[in-house]
Amino acid sequence: MIRVGDEAHLRTAIEIAARARANGNHPFGSLLTDPSGTKVLEAENTVVTGDDVTGHAETNLVRLSGRLHTDLSGYTLYASTEPCAMCAGAIYWAGIGRVVYALAETQLLELTRSHPGNPGLALSCEEVFARGQRQISVSGPHFYDEAAAVHAGFWTEQR
């Protein structure tokens, strides 16, 4: 379910993804809002520039969220693309209560095909969360055209 404020935050996550791409990384971005909907953190993908395969936008955001020293169950993570299995695990362990994403993992796999930079898992974040003992609300996909546009040409340029 999309809520008031979700659209603007999702579009910001997509802008962060565009910034990641401009900075030489894969085009993924995320941000975290507190229970009132105020943005508290944002992160972009740093896999290439950080030389770290775990440098996904969401895992970078989860690392930063530890500095908040608070219960994150009322917080929302917005992602330009559905969190992968690794990121979903990090979100789960951080205790974030809600995820809203633009591009679905299945849609991303259609865009990247068999690109070695994204050997994706056909596993939704909801499937990962469903195996846990806590409920995490998930909303997505949303804004396919805008989210896909950030990837336009990227996966063919990077062969």
**Cβ pair 118, 56 in contact under 8 A:** no
List the Cα angle 27/145/12 in 5-degree steps: 55
Does the annotation mark 58 as catalytic? yes
Catalytic one of 42, 58, 82, 105: 58
Scanning the chain, the segments in alpha helix (DSSP H) are 6-22, 57-65, 85-94, 105-112, 125-130, 144-149, 154-157
Which residues are within 8 A (CB) of 14 and not within 5 positions of it... i.e. 6 or more apart? 29, 80, 102, 143, 146, 147, 150
| Identity of residue 16 | I
CA end-to-end distance (rounded Å), the chain? 37
Active site residues: 58
